[in-house]
Structure 1
Amino acid sequence: MEPTVASRPDPTGLNRRALLQGGIFAGLGALVATAPFFADSPAAAAAAPGGPEPSAARLKLTKFKDPLRIPPVLRPRGQGGHDELTVRLRTADVTLHSELPPVTMWTYEGVYPGPTIETVSGRPLRVAWENHLTGNIPVTAVDFSLATGPSPDPLSNYPGTDGCQEVPGVAGLPPWAAVHLHGMLTGGGNDGWMENLIGPGDVQLSAYPNKQAATTLWYHDHTHHVSRYSVYAGLAGLFISRNAEERALNLPKGEHEVPLILSDRNFGLDASGALTGRSVHKVEMVGAQRLMRPHHGPYTLVNGVVWPYLEVEPRWYRFRIANTANSRIYRLMLLADGRPVPGAFQVIGSDQGLIDKPVAVDGALNLSPGERAEVLVNFGAFRGQALKLVNTFQGVTPGASNQRNDLAEPDVMQFRVADRKPVTRFALPPVISPTFKRVTPEDLPHDHPHRWVVLVGPGSANLPELWEMEEIDPAGITFPSAGIVQVQDAQGAVKTLRRTAMSYDEGRAFTAAHDGVETWKYLNLAAAPHPMHIHLAHFQVLSRENYDVTGFDRVTRGSARPIAFKAASVLEAHELGEKDVIRVGTAGQIVPGPNGTPGELVTVAVRFPVVGRGVHHCHMLEHEQHMMRPLVVSPAAHLHRGGAGGHH
């Protein structure tokens, strides 16, 4: 059976005939276009609330001019006991805003974001990821700095490369790739190991058990050392699995179930000062040490459209929100008449599936890079109004700009609510997933392993560090000592930790038992937050606690006095479910100085249902290269063969 295509306008900004000639529909699956793109109706526009607005100074593009596009959907074909799909990596010209010319990007199947792969949970899936990319990476990489320290209004708030220098070695990067289906519980051989690259003409064959609950995952390039550029070039897309439990809920569906795939970009300028649309990866290098700040682009894209709008009915909607940005944390609020809507987001799911009951968000919905959340929003009370989804900072008026914190333009998108009678057929269910259960420390085996991972600010290489630690006897140790950290918990007990490994290729890997459970404790001693991701596993967050980190000697790189417990913190709504990324550190304003932002200790209960070699790392892509360590999951019997731990 040949793949089928819905007879709707193409949602990609690409020419439909060119797509057909390029063979986008020849893979193993049905590609369904679900919404028009840049196809405004003058009559409809006149009747709708809201409308285009100018963006912040020097950003040049009109906000809310273009409709949100919905990525096409790929559904695999059944082949007996499993499903199959072919997805091609292609170089294509993509339109990101109607005031920008089409720009060359690296894509999956010629669209950005890539097609949404939709599957049935429990059906094993085999994907052939074919590399048809051409040319060098379509990203201009530059940096800039002030020897006196960070700028109050950095150049990264604005387009172009004036005042910057080119980052050596990026312009000539050839199209190697490694596809990682983020959050899929699959063995190490199918996980998209970042050093097992495929070049043009080659194929990555991956088998995914797909035994997970109904959930929202995403796929992206994971090429070692350069993922911050390859994902930025366009290699990202959504993955959805469904099951009977989810269908029984009768949640909003069809056009009322909408993906919101968030990313940010900066763009180039031509000689006349006009925007070219080419992606510019521009970062600030702070001070004489040239400490790299994570990338934050001034243009927010939703589903690959810069500042789009979405026309909605006065009724409930289901949104699948994924933060696919390199490093930006999105603190999302919904504003009506410039004021936050209390409880606007009813969270029903997290990274790895649905939670037990809906939880209203009090304040902002904080999503760090790699995190996803499923939310329900009721527009029934806002008929005939325009609402804004904005990104904000703690301590900053929602909807206001803040250049110092890379928030030149806080708006994300606009919702235009039709002026008609509200639809009231759907009611918020009191129970979402009756099969989901929150884990408590009492549920864990009494003899399960404990791991410590300490996140530290820039060291001798002027880069933030990830330290794997082991607990030791403090006898004979002089404090402070390099790589030694003491931690005092809420009961006053002190543990002494010694660094065992830091760089990617240093020391033995954490080795976990297949189907085992472990407690991992992430301690952040740095000012900046870090979203931590574990491959080959999923976890639940047990606690989030604030710690006094002023006892850490940043010169010696060890604690002069114990890092001491201050107070327990509250988990956010989307942190109550199964996850694969957790933010460690505040999502709000970063306060400099020795008594500034408190440290955080986040404790998670990790399960390892698959076997193989993977990694754990920070999902800020600018940190991924140097905040990454290998991880091995092995059959339990193999761990003990030949001696304790299986090491020979």
Structure 2
Amino acid sequence: MPKRRDVLKFGLLAGAAAALPVERLTSAFAQPATAAASAAPTIKLFETQLVVPPVLKPTHTIAGTDYYDITMRVAQQEIIPDLETTIWGYNGIFPGPTIRARRNRPIVIRQHNKLPSEAAVHLHGGNVPSSSDGLPGQEIAPGKDRHYLYPNRQQATTLWYHDHVHHHEAFNTYQGLTGLYLITDPAEDKLGLPSGKYDVPLVIQDRSFNADGSFRLPDPNLGEFAGEVAVINGRPSPRFTVEQRRYRFRLLNGSSADCLHELTLGSGDTMHVIGTDGGLLAVPVAVSKLPLAPSERAEVIVDFSKYPVGSQIVLNSSVFGTPMQLLRFDVVKSHSGHPKLPSKLVPIQRLKESQAKVHRDFQLNLDKARGEMVINGKSFDPDRIDIRPKLGSTEVWTIFNGETPDLPIPHVFHTHLVRFQILDRDGNPPAPFESGWKDSVTVMPGERVRIIMRFADHPGRFLYHCHLLGHADAGMMATMFVTP
């Protein structure tokens, strides 16, 4: 287990990296110049098959509530062929098992902690009571367990669960504590979207490895801001066999560090975005490039019917200008009669700025003197309440990335409990693919982003923070108390 000093050093990874020239950043990302990295195992692109995380079944059901048991434990997993990697996993796998929930059907999960240190589970994007949010003070000690209640009173969407122990969140998730949580509903059912084996989750993460296959944390002294290996569903740059038809891919950027992706298809064709963090869009949006920051989700439709059998299409990415090949699709079988792409999805009720009685301003930046990441000049204090929104109220927040040109650090602003809509970026409307419901938004250096939200359902204590997890560990987090 790393010392707090080392975790904070990892947390300031972006600051250390951003201080370096772009050329050195690119070099460090592509070929990290350390003895450990030079001895790292050779990883062949597309050598392994994509593995889809298993769907967990409830242990029992009582009065319409499904009950699950999950054990967090240390395990060995073959990520790189012929090598064993020590992971921390939900039920001992990385990523953890997928939970499939139904709107308005509650779930209770008992999380057992068999790890060597405390853990806290956060359902990212979940509209849940404060007591089940995984906040500071709700840690599970080794050998203990905790029950989490998830009411699922929200529309169909792709959520995920991960560790949320302050000062150790980046490390714990890097060790493997991530999993998907999918909610379905009748409105989604009616659309005839690809389902079953044609509805495929893709958990995109970055890792570095030692020669023995163990995880290696990026080294901020050398400007390593992310791992050099793309890991998809726990496999390094795998391949996936597809038929000549449309597929629905649920994309999650589950990176623990600063891996801001820009996704493209190697064929140059477009993808259709049908959903983001908080649920489906009103209409599909065609994109040739799709930004996806850590914690963001995007649901896309890719049509493979246009490619001959035998075709190979690569899902590529660019991370701060450095190319990565994430996944190869191999078209191996013909298919006819696959569903059409709906022209309309689900209506989205736009929140009106005129209804917002409260406007708040938040500045995110590195405090160089203290070596801490701060919000409005303050580092996180779990005993301090920073704001008190009122239940039922609508608020507009302006998020300003106050980093200076000598340290151009991006931030990804995330709100617990409440999802939001983006009003504008520096006065300009958001891109069509981010016009729906969100819970995380990238804010680039010097940029101002305005978001609007309505506080409903749950009073109590919740968090907002940067979801570049090292930044949160280093203090870029704050507490809101939603008052009745």
Measured against the shorter chain, the TM-score band is: 0.7 to 0.9
Aligned equivalent of 2:450, options 580, 603, 618: 603
Q: Quick one: distance in 2 between partners of 1:508 and 1:612?
A: 11
| Bigger relative contact order, structure 1 or 2 (CA pairs below 8 A, ≥6 apart) | 2
- Is contact 1:333–1:364 with CA below 8 Å preserved after alignment? yes
CA RMSD across the alignment: 2.0
| Residue 279 (structure 1) aligns with | 215
Say which SS state the counterpart of residue 513 (structure 1) adopts. coil
Cα distance, 1:75 vs structure 2: 3.3
The superposition leaves residues 380-399 of structure 1 with CA deviations (integer Å, 9 ceiling, x where unpaired) of 111221011111157x5xxx
The one-letter amino acid paired with 1:532 is F
1:243 aligns with 2:185: yes
| Residue 340 (structure 2) aligns with | 427
Say which SS state the counterpart of residue 315 (structure 2) adopts. strand
Point out the structure with max Rg over C-alpha: 1
The total of aligned residue pairs comes to: 439
The superposition leaves residues 342-399 of structure 1 with CA deviations (integer Å, 9 ceiling, x where unpaired) of xx221111111111110111x42111111101111101111221011111157x5xxx
1:414 aligns with 2:332: no
Q: Quick one: distance in 1 between partners of 2:140 and 2:319?
A: 40
| Residue 277 (structure 2) aligns with | 351
Say which SS state the counterpart of residue 212 (structure 1) adopts. coil
Q: Quick one: distance in 1 between partners of 2:382 and 2:53?
A: 38
- Equivalent residues in 2 for 1:96-107 (5 A)? 96-98=79-81, 100-107=82-89
1:437 aligns with 2:349: yes
Cα distance, 1:221 vs structure 2: 0.6
1:616 aligns with 2:464: yes
- Equivalent residues in 2 for 1:2-81 (5 A)? 60-76=42-58, 77-81=60-64
| Residue 579 (structure 1) aligns with | 438
Say which SS state the counterpart of residue 277 (structure 1) adopts. coil
Cα distance, 1:466 vs structure 2: 1.8
| Residue 314 (structure 1) aligns with | 244
- Equivalent residues in 2 for 1:231-630 (5 A)? 231-269=173-211, 276-285=212-221, 295-326=225-256, 327-336=258-267, 340-341=268-269, 344-361=270-287, 363-383=288-308, 384-393=310-319, 396=321, 402=322, 410-418=324-332, 420=334, 422-434=335-347, 436-442=348-354, 444-445=355-356, 448-467=357-376, 501-504=378-381, 508-526=385-403, 527-545=408-426, 568-585=427-444, 599-609=446-456, 610-625=458-473, 626-630=475-479
| Residue 74 (structure 2) aligns with | 91
- Is contact 1:178–1:204 with CA below 8 Å preserved after alignment? no
The one-letter amino acid paired with 1:416 is D
The one-letter amino acid paired with 2:145 is V
When normalised by structure 1's length, the TM-score is 0.65
Cα distance, 1:517 vs structure 2: 1.2
Cα distance, 1:66 vs structure 2: 0.6
When normalised by structure 2's length, the TM-score is 0.86
| Residue 6 (structure 2) aligns with | none
- Is contact 1:195–1:223 with CA below 8 Å preserved after alignment? no
The one-letter amino acid paired with 2:280 is L
| Residue 21 (structure 1) aligns with | none
Q: Quick one: distance in 2 between partners of 1:503 and 1:578?
A: 27
| Residue 132 (structure 2) aligns with | 190
The superposition leaves residues 588-628 of structure 1 with CA deviations (integer Å, 9 ceiling, x where unpaired) of xxxxxxxxxx6211111122221111111000011012101
Q: Give ranges in structure 2 of 5+ residues lacking alignment.
A: 1-29, 32-37
Aligned equivalent of 1:117, options 73, 77, 99: 99
| Residue 202 (structure 1) aligns with | 144
Q: Quick one: distance in 1 between partners of 2:123 and 2:215?
A: 24
Cα distance, 1:515 vs structure 2: 2.1
The one-letter amino acid paired with 1:580 is D
The one-letter amino acid paired with 2:260 is I
The superposition leaves residues 543-569 of structure 1 with CA deviations (integer Å, 9 ceiling, x where unpaired) of 111xxxxxxxxxxxxxxxxxxxxxx44
Q: Quick one: distance in 2 between partners of 1:69 and 1:80?
A: 34
Q: 1:584 to 1:413 in 2, by over 3 A?
A: same
- Is contact 2:272–2:301 with CA below 8 Å preserved after alignment? yes
The one-letter amino acid paired with 2:454 is R
- Is contact 2:367–2:374 with CA below 8 Å preserved after alignment? yes
Q: 1:62 to 1:294 in 2, by over 3 A?
A: closer
The superposition leaves residues 101-133 of structure 1 with CA deviations (integer Å, 9 ceiling, x where unpaired) of 122211001211000001111111111111122
- Is contact 2:384–2:479 with CA below 8 Å preserved after alignment? no
1:212 aligns with 2:154: yes
Q: Quick one: distance in 1 between partners of 2:431 and 2:95?
A: 27
Say which SS state the counterpart of residue 237 (structure 1) adopts. strand
Q: Quick one: distance in 1 between partners of 2:233 and 2:178?
A: 11
Cα distance, 1:508 vs structure 2: 4.2
- Equivalent residues in 2 for 1:147-162 (5 A)? none
- Is contact 2:315–2:328 with CA below 8 Å preserved after alignment? yes
Q: Quick one: distance in 2 between partners of 1:194 and 1:63?
A: 40
Cα distance, 1:576 vs structure 2: 1.2
Q: Quick one: distance in 2 between partners of 1:217 and 1:79?
A: 24
Identity %: 34
Cα distance, 1:196 vs structure 2: 1.9
Q: 1:507 to 1:73 in 2, by over 3 A?
A: closer
- Is contact 2:76–2:84 with CA below 8 Å preserved after alignment? yes
Cα distance, 1:506 vs structure 2: 8.0
Q: 1:283 to 1:504 in 2, by over 3 A?
A: farther
- Is contact 1:356–1:432 with CA below 8 Å preserved after alignment? yes
Say which SS state the counterpart of residue 75 (structure 1) adopts. coil
- Is contact 2:385–2:481 with CA below 8 Å preserved after alignment? no
Cα distance, 1:440 vs structure 2: 4.2
Q: Quick one: distance in 2 between partners of 1:182 and 1:452?
A: 23
The one-letter amino acid paired with 1:283 is D
The one-letter amino acid paired with 2:455 is F
Q: Quick one: distance in 2 between partners of 1:358 and 1:571?
A: 15
| Residue 482 (structure 1) aligns with | none
- Is contact 1:220–1:237 with CA below 8 Å preserved after alignment? yes
Say which SS state the counterpart of residue 117 (structure 2) adopts. coil
Q: Quick one: distance in 2 between partners of 1:117 and 1:600?
A: 36
The one-letter amino acid paired with 2:103 is S
